Structure formats: structure tokens, C-alpha cells
Structure 1
């Protein structure tokens, strides 16, 4: 099963991955801030991730890794 891993220390909460995800299963963590004060992205429904890597491709900070 595929999944994404977000490096929360690097993520700036820009939402590009949220918009790029065709399944709409990525959101910004509104209940959490990273050390830089940003809401990092998180996978909200891991069972639906197909590992398409659209999120990782769009991430300007390469904060997302896709595992298949």
C-alpha cells in the first residue's frame, strides 16, 4: 500500500500538495504547528493513497516522500 511521508520540519504549509492531490486526501494540520510556525501537510486518509506522487512533484520544498 502506498503512502506519503511529510517532513514537518521542512513543510511551509503552502497547500500546493493539497491542491495537487487528485483524491483530495491531503490537508493542512490545523491542530499542529511546526517549529517555524506553519501548519504542515498531512495525509488524512492513508487507505486511499495510490502513490501517484502528484503531491511530491508539486512540493516546492521537497518535503514529501512517497513510499509504495
Structure 2
């Protein structure tokens, strides 16, 4: 049986670090970057664990600024 995997691409310049995607992620693979900030001074979202993303789109759905694109594929 094929396993669904995914990844996200974050538009770092638009991300305001609201943390909604982090809370919405069922597999807890998204975090706000602990050190780096974007040009607006916000800690931006990033995928911290590439192997456990399931591509569920929860993060992209809750993002108020549309900063997250989700990609899915089957292994």
C-alpha cells in the first residue's frame, strides 16, 4: 500500500509568524524558525521534519495570508 507524503513551501517574505499553521499541523512537523526572521522582522514558518509531512493541507488552509503551498505524492 502506498504511503502519502508531502512537503510545504513557505513564502518567507509574506509570513507573519502567526503560529496558526504550527497549531493546525496534525503531525507536528512545522515550527516557527527559532532564530531567523524575514525582512519584516517575523519568525517565519518552516518544515522541521521533512519525512513525516503527510501533505494534509491543514497548514495551508488556516494560513490567513496564503503563504503556504502544500505538495503531495505517493511513495
TM-score (norm 1): 0.96
Displacement over 6 Å in runs of 4+: none
Work out whether 1:56 is the aligned partner of 2:55: no
Query: Which has more strand, going by share of residues?
Result: 2
Structure 1: which 5+ runs fail to align? Answer: none
Work out whether 1:21 is the aligned partner of 2:29: no
Structure 2: which 5+ runs fail to align? Answer: none
Query: Which has more helix, going by share of residues?
Result: 1
**Deviation, structure 1 residue 11:** 0.3
Aligned pair count reads: 68
Aligned to 1:11: 15
1:13-39 Cα shifts (integer Å, max 9, x gaps): 000000000011100001100000000
Larger Rg: 2
RMSD: 0.7
TM-score (norm 2): 0.88
